[in-house]
Amino acid sequence: MSASKIVSLLLLLVLINISSNDINGVNAFHKVIKKMQSKSTSLEVVSHLHRTGFHFQPPRHWINDPNGPMVYKGIYHLFYQYNPKGAVWGNIVWAHSVSKDLINWEALEPAIYPSKWFDINGTWSGSATNVPGKGPVILYTGITENHTQIQNYAIPQDLSDPYLKKWIKPDDNPIVRPDHGENGSAFRDPTTAWFNKKDGHWRMLVGSKNKRRGIAYMYKSRDFKKWVKTKRPVHTRKATGMWECPDFFPVSIGKKTGLDTSYDGPNTKHVLKVSLDLTRYEYYTLGTYDTKKDRYKPDGTTPDGWDGLRLDYGNFYASKTFFDDTKNRRILWGWANESDSAVEDTLKGWAGVQLIPRTVLLDSSGKQLVFWPIEEIESLRGKNVQMNNQKIEMGQRFEVQGITPAQVDVDVTFNVGSLDKAETFDASFATKPLDLCNLKGSNVTGGVGPFGLITLATSDLQEYTPVFFRVFKDGTTNKPKVLMCSDAKPSTLKGDTGTDSTEKMYKPSFAGFVDVDLADGKISLRSLIDHSVVESFGAKGKTVITSRVYPTKAVGDNAHLFVFNNGSQPVTVESLNAWNMQKPEKMNQGAK
């Protein structure tokens, strides 16, 4: 073999190794970093530089999956996977917070923590179900003495307490153990259960895999205690690996309200969402749930697998929805991990945020879901600035002035005018939006676009996180194909030159297509910008992308916000509203 071939081979091996460790920026976990897992940080030394202003965070330490969200007696409950002793994954308990408005949160004692043989090695993710007559029941995964994953239940000690401060784990646990056909080390994350009036049974799903086939097992029960596996899994898919945190719920066709998980009526579709352990991103399908056969069949309008639709095309994982019967809406919670290293997390004393809860509806096309930040978030809006009818020629950018852009909500509607100059869409990119974003970044001149927002930027663009659209045209139909990107590559000067692990920084570009026809030329973009989080909603929530970024200079009062256009076709900002966002009064002070 020639020397150059050997060099290429070595390079390939290095790349393979990098990409297999680098699972979408989410630190590999369930692997305990022993020397760091109990390295506690005192509150005085927690680093505030990149902490968020209005996102859900405990005052310090590691968080991951949102667990068991629900509303009970008018109080919202959020549990989450939490390490009370350090800023990396480990020592996991179900931390518990309560809120009256989904904005201000009060921390309570952890609700569930390892203490019995059936969860002594871990209290992992799960869901809550409001069982009429019984009150809320939590189903969660316990890791046993011999490291098997089993499903347990927990109930409140006092149903008259709307805060549900104390939880009991009855001794008749577990409710479900893996049988001989199931994989006891890949068997977890029970869903909210739903009730089938016709046969008087509750049902719930548990995520799993068999070799590389992703599986959602279904169990049914009359009394919520004795659970029996149904004949076949509700759904499986080859080559998708372990299905973590499945979520299964109905959505209404036509109505702008959410549905209870047990709803069984006409004009609905079902959604099955799974979190893919292999890549650390999620996908969902829309389909039909046959309640007699207990089988789910995707519609087939989008792929059932790696290229499937995503709730969020960015840093978003282990998500879970719940039905909020106080406002008739379904709300989605998702977790965004850090993109920096475990060493950095330990140094800063915290890791992970829960993203702003989003309402979930079926799009009028029936082919996808749409997401929108819950209306309550608007109560945090402070000073407002606007921009109207601002034409942006190629290469121009305009600053949004008069606010502090490190912590804002910005909502802009662009008009692209004519599509005549749009680049022709190459069909080979149809399943590869990310490749397209990497190839054609925010600075690569196009026909229609790239245009959008430049967030968390220094005035000279040494650091910036662009969120933008690029409009292509289908060569035969002339229909637009819209790409949306959120690009962390230029977000920070950090990690560019460093070689040791504290300096390394994952700075990905994230991408998705946006299904719009642009008949009126308009496309909207809303971004919730919060120091190290940029959550962006394209075309009123048809495509959502979250990025985590760590600017060194574009911080605090030195962060800037621009609208820009690098396409030869001028675009117009028809309207732009930006609001400073206030901090909630209460954000989990005193979390243990």
The residues of the shown chain that bind ligand DQQ, judged by CB under 6 A, are 64-65, 81, 92, 124-125, 141, 188-189, 244-245, 275, 317-318
In the complex, minimum distance from the CB of residue 336 to ligand DQQ, in angstroms, rounded to a whole number = 12
The residue (of 352 and 466) whose beta carbon lies closer to ligand DQQ is 352
In the complex, minimum distance from the CB of residue 141 to ligand DQQ, in angstroms, rounded to a whole number = 5
Find, among 475, 587, 450, 469, the residue nearest to 539 by Cα: 469
Active site residues: 65
SS (H, E, C) 471-495: EEEECCCCCEEEEEEEECCCCCCCC
Query: Which residue, judged by CB position, is nearest to ligand DQQ in the bound state?
Result: 124
Number of other CB atoms surrounding residue 60 within 10 Å:
23
- 201-210 and 167-168 strand pairing: unpaired
The residue (of 337 and 341) whose beta carbon lies closer to ligand DQQ is 337
Half-sphere exposure of 287 (CA within 13 A, CB side): 22
Asked if 422 and 475 count as a contact pair (C-beta separation under 8 A), the reply is no
The residue (of 56 and 124) whose beta carbon lies closer to ligand DQQ is 124
In the complex, minimum distance from the CB of residue 318 to ligand DQQ, in angstroms, rounded to a whole number = 4
In the complex, minimum distance from the CB of residue 164 to ligand DQQ, in angstroms, rounded to a whole number = 21
**How buried is 496 (Cβ within 10 angstroms: 0-12 exposed, 13-18 middle, 19+ buried)?**
exposed
The residue (of 24 and 438) whose beta carbon lies closer to ligand DQQ is 24
Number of other CB atoms surrounding residue 219 within 10 Å:
23
The length of the chain is 592
In the complex, minimum distance from the CB of residue 110 to ligand DQQ, in angstroms, rounded to a whole number = 14
Query: How many Å apart are CA 491 and CA 199, to the nearest integer?
Result: 55
- The residues with which 244 forms a beta bridge, in sequence order, are 275
In the complex, minimum distance from the CB of residue 70 to ligand DQQ, in angstroms, rounded to a whole number = 18
In the complex, minimum distance from the CB of residue 64 to ligand DQQ, in angstroms, rounded to a whole number = 5
Query: How many Å apart are CA 309 and CA 286, to the nearest integer?
Result: 9
The residue (of 208 and 580) whose beta carbon lies closer to ligand DQQ is 208
Find, among 331, 347, 289, the residue nearest to 128 by Cα: 331
Q: Among all chains, which residue has been given the structure tokens 């104390």? A: 166
In the complex, minimum distance from the CB of residue 315 to ligand DQQ, in angstroms, rounded to a whole number = 13
The residue (of 188 and 481) whose beta carbon lies closer to ligand DQQ is 188
Query: How many Å apart are CA 280 and CA 510, to the nearest integer?
Result: 13
The residue (of 141 and 262) whose beta carbon lies closer to ligand DQQ is 141
**How buried is 327 (Cβ within 10 angstroms: 0-12 exposed, 13-18 middle, 19+ buried)?**
middle
The residue (of 156 and 352) whose beta carbon lies closer to ligand DQQ is 352
* Assigned token pair, 176: 């479900």
**How buried is 376 (Cβ within 10 angstroms: 0-12 exposed, 13-18 middle, 19+ buried)?**
middle
The residue (of 120 and 493) whose beta carbon lies closer to ligand DQQ is 120
In the complex, minimum distance from the CB of residue 372 to ligand DQQ, in angstroms, rounded to a whole number = 24
Query: How many Å apart are CA 137 and CA 155, to the nearest integer?
Result: 5
**How buried is 56 (Cβ within 10 angstroms: 0-12 exposed, 13-18 middle, 19+ buried)?**
buried
Query: How many Å apart are CA 352 and CA 58, to the nearest integer?
Result: 9
- 560-565 and 281-290 strand pairing: unpaired
In the complex, minimum distance from the CB of residue 105 to ligand DQQ, in angstroms, rounded to a whole number = 20
Query: How many Å apart are CA 295 and CA 206, to the nearest integer?
Result: 14
Q: What is the DSSP letter of 27?
A: P
494 CA to centre of own chain: 25
List the end-to-end C-alpha distance of the chain, in Å, as a whole number.
Answer: 59
Asked if 293 and 306 count as a contact pair (C-beta separation under 8 A), the reply is no
The residue (of 141 and 569) whose beta carbon lies closer to ligand DQQ is 141
- 423-425 and 465-474 strand pairing: parallel
Q: Kindly write down the DSSP assignment for every residue of 363-429, as one continuous string.
A: -TTSSSEEEEE-GGGGGGEEEEEEEEEEEE-TT-EEE--SS-TTEEEEEEEEE----TTPEEE-GGG
